[in-house]
Amino acid sequence: MNPKIAELLDRIGQMESEIEQVMKTRRAELQADFEEKRIQFEQEILAQHRRFKTGLLKYFIEANWLSVLTAPIIYAIIVPMLLLDIAITLYQHICFRAYGIPRVVRRDYFVYDRTHLAYLNLIEKINCAYCSYGNGLMAYAREIVARTEQYWCPIKHARKVMMAHPYYNGFVDYGDAESYQRELENLRAKLSEIGRSDAPK
């Protein structure tokens, strides 16, 4: 990898760590206590949250009619999402074993902690769980496809890729045939170094 790119990626990693530290401090300010993966807010915070909770009857009465009409379309997407979830999980369990690629740990990508928020009513909690599932599934699938791309076709595109996955910067430059032949097996070997749920280095 280009030394300048490696240096920039290292700086990005440092900034991501700083961002996580700031977020951790903010969580502490909100008096959130993460205990055995279960979020428990202090009683005064819970009481404050409950004051902002919208009752179900009021929620339905004040709902935007366009939101109500489009809800069946939104929730119908659960069918293809479930099919994708099953398909991509079966794919990695079969193919990643064959290729020697560490499998992506599914549970690492799905977070359902919003159900602990007392200011959300039942419908809002269901909506949040649905969004969490959808975004978690996309992240899970993206990681599987990213590892697959590094194994089969680790070549950068000629055009800029929007929101490229974390492995992309380590790919061989577009049109560099010599480097592709030289680096392909090395890039495949790097996949075996990935921890069960580690991000790429």
Residue 19 lies in a domain: no
Q: How many residues does the chain have?
A: 201
With respect to residue 21, please indicate whether it lies within any of the assigned structural domains: no
Predicted pLDDT at 23: 83
pTM to 2 decimals? 0.72
Residue span of the structural domain in which 89 resides: 31-191
CA 140/CA 80 separation, integer angstroms: 15
4 in any annotated domain: no
- Which amino acid would we find at residue 55? G
**114, 130 contact by CB (below 8 A):** no
Q: Could you tell me if residue 38 is inside a domain? A: yes
Q: Is residue 1 part of a domain?
A: no
- The pLDDT tens digits for 129-157 are 999 999 999 999 999 999 999 999 999 99
**Total number of domains in the chain:** 1
pLDDT tens digits, 66-85 = 888 889 999 999 999 999 99
| Contacts by residues 160-168 (CB-CB < 8 Å, ≥ 24 positions apart) | 166/199, 166/200, 167/200
